[in-house]
Homo-oligomer: A and B are copies of this chain.
Amino acid sequence: MRVTNGIILAVEERVRKLQTPSLSQKIFQVDDHVGIAAAGYVPDARILVDKARVFSQYNRLLYDEVADVESVSKHLGDLTQEYTQYAGVRPFGVSLIIAGVDKRGSSVFLVDPSGSYLQYEAVAIGSGSDQVTQFLENNFNSSMTIDEASILAVKSIYLVSEDKIGVSHLRMAIIDTDAKKLRRYTEEEVTKFASLSKEKFGSS
């Protein structure tokens, strides 16, 4: 997940053999221009994504323009903070990467269960995120092309995944800075980046 002339969101979703893979549980589209990747307790992520969607639509209605990515992130951060301070609810059990393109350009935010939100060039969450972050700090630079970033994203997931061959457990989405639209990668595109990744970094 990172920024060049677009943003790449990539997650690993392990799927049982008879599960229908069409419904992603970890990458969500909030609005045309904003996507969320989640790590942790998925049902909580869904609730927060729904709240982000309402916030985003409400922003369109009220101000007649799309919501800033930072506004969406701050809204989710304030919400998760509230769930840590008040009795009668439990804190949310999920970390979210909010990525999007707005009039200030593309940006990526990380919201965690404490309610903090921080802006990143590239960030990883979930199990193995320390290893991936290390890898990204060594290999990522923000002047890469979208395709180079996609290759790096695939490699990042292979790094910590048990299954280092197939692509069925890879889900990726791109938000293009010009188009300002989130688009999920097809399985063909993911496969292409997976093989390019193996060329570049080896398959181990």
Q: Which residues of A contact B (CB under 8 A)?
A: 2, 16-20, 22-23, 25, 41-44, 46-47, 50, 70, 74, 77-78, 80-90, 92, 107-108, 114-116, 118-123, 133, 136-137, 140
Contact = CB atoms under 8 A, between A and B. Distances in A.
Contacts of A118: 19, 23, 25
Contacts of A2: 18
A84 B70 CA distance: 29
Given A43-B115, A44-B85, A90-B85, A120 B23 contact: no
27 contacts: A16-B120, A16-B137, A18-B122, A18-B136, A18-B140, A19-B118, A19-B119, A19-B123, A20-B107, A20-B108, A20-B121, A23-B70, A23-B119, A25-B116, A42-B116, A43-B77, A43-B81, A43-B84, A43-B114, A44-B85, A47-B81, A47-B82, A47-B85, A83-B85, A85-B89, A85-B92, A88-B88
Contacts of A137: 16-18
Contacts of A133: 16, 18
A44 B114 CA distance: 9
Nearest to A73: B23
Contacts of A136: 18
A44 B123 contact: no
Contacts of A114: 41, 43
A16, A20, A78, A121, most chain B CB atoms within 10 A = A20
A80 B23 CA distance: 19
Contacts of A90: 84-85
B87 A88 contact: yes
A88 to B, nearest CB: 4
